[in-house]
Structure 1
């Protein structure tokens, strides 16, 4: 396609060529008439003599021969290292004695997927799926976070001050005498279709706690008009218990577990926990566990109702739940 300031379109080129070839105009006169260089007028006239009107179309500027192009054997070595070792352009270049830009150009030429689009275990492009309706599949998982002592931990203070704050916050001790602040466990149920999340901060991840959490999560989704059909979890002990099995069976829900050592299958809730950590847990320096927990409910509401989600085309999860506000009941 011609650029916006080109003096000749395909039609203009054809008119110029016909003036020279068919009507016998001198090249200089035709060039002045169409306000182009004499060499330009000669180029289109010659193409018209050889190819007729079809010769007025743009041609590729790619050269017929590229003597300095990377040899085919080198390209094959680059591709082999990329597929077998899953390295980036810089590491491949250091191994083969090439420049990183050369390796990147070869990878782009053969349209090899970026490393972040590949599964680490199999090196195959990641297959993404999404269920058609809310409730067809709900991902459930637990994330463990360390509690924050009053006054702040060593992440926002120095180690000596952080240790002092730990001692002042709790009297519990480990066997070696270190203050035992403990952990919080975030139990999450996330809908596969809408990415709508329900999360509670609980003191442990036992089977009783997980079963009680699911009753509340199920009631929450049911109140939004979402009927849950299947639940996907990892192989944690609480999800392999008879209590968890009976809890789901009593609600008429099918339980699915991921393959061992395969967290990618439950990737949606894993990614939610990463977002949760980046945008809430570690987003700012909290000076106490109470301050951290007080900020959680507003953040979760913003995530479900206002935060733009890239997988949803920039819309929040609430946009995919038809009766979230309860206005149609």
Structure 2
């Protein structure tokens, strides 16, 4: 059933605005075979429509297993909430070999790039024509919004946080993924390469 009253009909906020003067890092994933957890992480920001206005949500995802490693909600697009999510992911799971993002100002900021450099992570950024590189996170956003966000009319950040937390736990631990042999992301992450064939697990980036 389509809940017309809760579907956003206003202009969407721009969550990936570049910042002048920030260093842009090269794209490192061309031809790379991603075949293990923590080899490549990605991060992205989306908007959450509320009864009044927007909130913003950032997620850190393991590219190989699609597991959401950490996330944060904010009412602004400052880099701090992204770095908080990154710190949690690194603390809980260790640093990735490569972090890939778009060229949004949050991900080109000193606080974000310095944190990655200090743990030895190589920084990769999408260039022009690389819109498919965030396809895994885009699918996450689409599922989250249609299965959770659009079904509620949240008024406060605490309501949104509780709803997102419940859905993320479902996504990581119960929601099956066809690309992962029907297993949820958390199962594949912790079992590493034991739950699917190499062809199912590995994603070659063109």
- 2:167 matched residue in structure 1: 299
Compute the RMSD of aligned alpha carbons.
2.4
Q: Within the alignment, does 1:208 sit opposite 2:111 as a pair?
A: no
Q: Determine whether 1:260 maps to 2:152.
A: no
Q: Which residue of 2 aligns with 1:147?
A: 50
Partner of residue 288, structure 1: 155
Equivalences for residues 155-234 of structure 1 within 5 A? 181-197=52-68, 198-222=70-94, 227-234=95-102
Q: CA deviation at 1:207?
A: 2.3
Q: Give yes or no for contact 1:190–1:196 (8 Å, CA) kept in 2.
A: yes
Structure 1 residues 260 and 201, CA gap change in structure 2 (3 angstroms): same
Provide, for residues 102-126 of structure 1, a one-character-per-residue CA deviation record: whole Å limited to 9, x for no partner: xxxxxxxxxxxxxxxxxxxxxxxxx
1:276-316 deviations in Å (ceiling 9; x for gaps): 1111111x243533444322212111110111112212110
Residue matched to 1:276: 144
Secondary structure, aligned partner of 2:147: helix
Ranked by relative contact order (alpha carbons within 8 Å, sequence separation 6 or more), the top structure is 2
Query: Runs of 5+ in structure 2 lacking a partner?
Result: 1-29, 193-206
Measured in 2, the distance between the counterparts of 1:206 and 1:236 equals 11
Instruction: Tell me the equivalent position of 2:199.
Output: none
Cα 1:257–1:143, aligned 2, differ >3 Å: closer, same or farther? Answer: same
Deviation at 1:323, TM superposition (A): 6.5
What TM-score does the superposition give when structure 2 sets the normalisation length? Answer: 0.69
Shift of the 207–281 alpha-carbon distance from structure 1 to 2, 3 Å rule, reads: same
SS of 1:140's equivalent in the other structure is strand
Call closer, same or farther: CA 1:248–1:287 in 2, change over 3 Å. closer
- Of residues 28, 34, 37, the one that matches 1:134 is 37
Aligned residue for 1:295, secondary structure, equals helix
Give 1:243's match in structure 2, choosing from 111, 135, 148: 111
Bigger fraction of residues in strand: 2
Kindly state the Cα deviation for residue 132 of structure 1 after the two structures are TM-superposed.
Answer: 1.2
Higher helix share goes to which structure? 1
1:186 counterpart SS class: strand
Q: Unpaired runs of 5+ in structure 1?
A: 1-126, 149-180, 325-329
Following the alignment from structure 1 to structure 2, what is the Cα–Cα distance between the partners of residues 128 and 182?
41
Question: TM-score scaled to structure 1, two decimals?
Answer: 0.45
Q: Alpha-carbon deviation of 1:228?
A: 1.2
Q: Structure 2 matches for 1:12-27, cutoff 5 A?
A: none
